[in-house]
């Protein structure tokens, strides 16, 4: 879909939701269900959701200011009418990861049409204890840790103004959703928190992330297979591992990734900037096309622009055979700032299916006061504008 048409569609959707907010809501305050500050609100919140979801008119579940404790919970539809969950307090997960099922999320929203999650509240995953138990880098059979949020099979959803803090694992997983928007959303975790991806998207269409701040210990935003028509605008990322497409290709039956647009973002002291990563020597043969990154500022980013088709962390694979993932129609435009390494642009494509239609336009990256260099393999990019010095700085591939 054309970006302008997408923005018009999103504006109409937001107007519709705002208009419904002016209608008479049925309010379901959890305090009326026995919830009290510093107490466990799992039962009260479950009952409030059940009544609100059954309402035939628009409804709102309200969690007022205060600190509350919450066990694992699923908000499941379908509901009879548009529904909102307004959280203005701080909700805390159990500190002990063994009290949560790592195969699910701490808080899960599924099978709902016209959902809004709003408020000035914070969802605190209390992940510090769990991070010390995360040995997945060395142990493939490691115990799974729970994510803060799971959004599954939702249509026409808005998540706005809330904060996700210190998740034990990923902060947000978006799966099988259509038309979901994150706006003024905040994710907070230290750089030392392992595998705490900010927003991970898979097999979803029309996902919009705007005016959002993400500080975490892994990818700020990551796209899994089957992601289509994803837009990221005005996002600040750091610390973290950057904005990533992938990793892809590790599993059979993966779906293509199409139409990713990233604009007006800042990446501050991240390990990577904007990245596409695929595994070598794996069964998947999908395509990745329509990846566009523009108007992005890099501040001391180790790898500002990178395509890595030899992605193989912790030696979990072999590079004996090249990646089968075909990457095409990719553009990097007006990307400026500072690189933390000499190689500001690294495009390592597959020897089996080289990258096609890759464009570098007005790339102005410096390393220690001089123009950053580039590494290219199995790709012949079109280089334009301020990017022309890259032609004189190509480094040999070892």
Q: Which of 272, 193, 198, 205 is nearest to 235 (CA)?
A: 198
At residue 15, what are phi and psi to the nearest 5 degrees? -65, -40
| Residue 292 falls in the annotated catalytic set | no
Element (H, E) at 231: strand 228-237
The DSSP letter of residue 198 is: S
Residue written as token pair 């750089």: 191
Measured between alpha carbons, how far is 397 from 172 in angstroms, rounded to an integer? 37
Q: Which residue has the tokens 């799974």?
A: 144
Q: What number of other Cβ atoms are within 10 A of residue 155's Cβ?
A: 17
Non-local (6+) Cβ contacts of 73 within 8 A are 42, 45, 46, 106, 107, 108
Contact 211, 205 (CB under 8 A): no
Catalytic residue among 171, 200, 241, 292: 241
Residue owning tokens 């990307």: 335
With b for 16 or more beta-carbon neighbours within 10 A and e for fewer, the 245-269 pattern comes to bbbbbbeeebbbbbbbbbbebbbbe
Q: How far is CA 216 from the centre of its chain?
A: 11
Nearest residue to 358 via CA among 396, 312, 327, 316? 327
Q: Which residues are catalytic?
A: 241
């Amino acid at each position: 879909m054309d970006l302008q048409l997408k923005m018009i569609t999103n504006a109409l959707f937001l107007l519709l939701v705002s208009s419904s907010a002016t209608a008479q809501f049925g309010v379901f305050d959890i305090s009326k269900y026995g919830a009290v500050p510093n107490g466990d609100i799992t039962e009260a919140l479950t009952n409030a959701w059940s009544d609100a979801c059954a309402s035939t008119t628009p409804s709102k579940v309200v969690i007022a200011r205060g600190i509350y404790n919450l066990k694992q919970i699923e908000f499941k539809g379908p509901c009879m009418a548009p529904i909102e969950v307004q959280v203005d307090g701080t909700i805390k997960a159990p500190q002990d990861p063994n009290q949560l099922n790592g195969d699910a999320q701490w808080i899960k929203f599924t099978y709902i049409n016209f959902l809004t999650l709003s408020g000035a509240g914070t969802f605190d995953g209390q992940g510090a204890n769990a991070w010390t138990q995360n040995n997945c880098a060395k142990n493939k059979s490691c115990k799974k840790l729970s994510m803060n949020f799971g959004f599954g099979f939702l249509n026409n959803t808005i998540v706005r103004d809330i904060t996700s803090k210190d998740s034990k694992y990923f902060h947000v997983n978006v799966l099988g959703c259509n038309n979901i928007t994150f706006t003024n959303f905040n994710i907070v975790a230290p750089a030392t928190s392992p595998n705490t991806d900010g927003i991970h998207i898979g097999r979803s269409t029309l996902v919009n992330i705007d005016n959002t701040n993400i500080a975490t210990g892994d990818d700020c935003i990551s796209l899994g297979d089957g992601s289509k028509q994803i837009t990221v605008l005005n996002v600040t990322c750091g610390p973290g591992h950057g904005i990533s497409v992938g990793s892809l290709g590790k599993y059979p039956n993966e779906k293509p990734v199409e139409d990713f647009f990233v604009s007006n973002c800042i990446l501050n002291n991240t390990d990577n900037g904007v990245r596409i990563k695929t595994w070598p020597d794996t069964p998947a043969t999908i395509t990745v096309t329509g990846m566009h990154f523009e108007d992005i500022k890099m501040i001391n980013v180790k790898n500002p622009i990178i395509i890595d088709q030899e992605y193989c962390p912790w030696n979990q694979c072999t590079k004996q055979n090249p990646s089968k993932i075909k990457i095409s129609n990719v553009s990097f435009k007006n990307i400026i700032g500072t690189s933390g390494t000499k190689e500001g642009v690294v495009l390592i494509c597959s020897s089996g299916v080289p990258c096609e239609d890759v464009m570098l336009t007005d790339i102005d990256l410096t390393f220690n006061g001089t123009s950053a260099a580039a590494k290219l393999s199995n790709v012949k990019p079109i280089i334009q504008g301020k990017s022309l010095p890259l032609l004189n700085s190509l480094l040999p591939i070892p």
